Structure 1
């Protein structure tokens, strides 16, 4: 019982906020990882995990029956759910993929701004555990386990300052990764190699052009990044005059 209480205190305790300089250093590291092609090819798997988790979560919340998640070595993935092939539930499920990493980064930034860097990392571990039980292929299992092991190492081995730096870098990586993944989607679509992408499936369901849905993904990602900056105390929230 004492060990459980100590663990709960560790997870729920608040840590001192990073200075703006420290936060920008963490963000710069995340940006370098996203912009440098070799590191992006490796770490993009984490964005794919968040993408497919978004599909899975919204499919479940909208009443569709989740069949499983598959993650592939080329950083693609697929989430299979059963239910009506058309309608609001299917549209919401498709919308959730490219927006999920940005929303995850936004939620992580909110926790960081409140001083819960350790809690944010443990929440991420819990989410990975939920994804793990839905994965249906060996590469997917390996990908989620390696990601989880890295997050666990950060929570267990680093002191609170380093945990906050890592947590900030993770949040920034998800936000910036969401933007890059969406830009890459449009590049592939322009080459005619993504006829079954989320944007194109949404276009067939709604009769709204796929490029509009790509724009929606970009607006969500950019909006989440702006609000996340405010949560971290780096940018002001835009005010609406009334």
Structure 2
């Protein structure tokens, strides 16, 4: 089907809920290399980390809503930091889950994406990501954040709507690899900051104040989630 043609309702249904063929192994490996190139070099990571920040703050926001808190706004900054503000009880399970969702969101999203790709739902993954970005856009409260989410969402929409199956597959695999790999690095960066004494108000420290559990144990949780997600996602993506 011509991707530029207007699809009928049955065609839209089939594209969303149907399955697409797996890409060749070389495509999967090439997207892995591309994701590594976006995560490992520091100069590139300073830019690409913005995408991880979107997932990080989106995780805070989503869990805040799911636990009954009132989400008042999300800010994304050019230094790749972010801030999610919600109203509700300043303690309790809802606040704990909200605080814990940031560092765990990118790798878990990558793991979920790997499961969808393993099942052949490439287009569904792209459309779901677009929908989540559009919902998040409503809650963004600063110009840089709006620009970042618009550009990211527009890229997903363009690829899912205007390109063929092979391009969609390559893009989807690259995104999932990036979330899995990019979800590992922030926990190590946080560990280094805490070692230098520069992260007194980090998610791990906030969780420690909420639970009386040492920050190091929360940091261990972030490492465990990201590394286990990477292992599980890799098995799905490489069909091991």
Q: TM-score, normalised by structure 1?
A: 0.92
How much has 1:194 moved relative to structure 2?
1.2
Q: Distance in 2 between matches of 1:163 and 1:38?
A: 27
Moved over 3 A (4+): 1-5
- Distance change (3 Å), C-alpha of 1:125 and 1:24: same
1:169-180 equivalences in 2 (<5 Å): 169-180=174-185
Q: Distance in 1 between matches of 2:217 and 2:234?
A: 26
How much has 1:3 moved relative to structure 2?
3.2
1:131 equivalent to 2:136? Answer yes
Summarize deviations over 1:126-152 as a string: whole Å, max 9, x none.
Answer: 010110011111111001001111112
Summarize deviations over 1:83-128 as a string: whole Å, max 9, x none.
Answer: 1111111111111000000111011111100111111111100010
Contact in 2 for aligned 1:55/1:93 (Cα 8 Å): yes
1:221 equivalent to 2:226? Answer yes
Q: Which residue of 1 aligns with 2:73?
A: 68
1:174-193 equivalences in 2 (<5 Å): 174-193=179-198
Q: Distance in 2 between matches of 1:125 and 1:209?
A: 37
Q: Which residue of 2 aligns with 1:91?
A: 96
Contact in 1 for aligned 2:118/2:239 (Cα 8 Å): no
Contact in 2 for aligned 1:132/1:141 (Cα 8 Å): yes
Contact in 1 for aligned 2:28/2:238 (Cα 8 Å): no
Q: Which residue of 2 aligns with 1:240?
A: none
Q: Distance in 1 between matches of 2:10 and 2:198?
A: 52
Equivalent pairs, count: 235
Q: TM-score, normalised by structure 2?
A: 0.93
How much has 1:2 moved relative to structure 2?
6.2
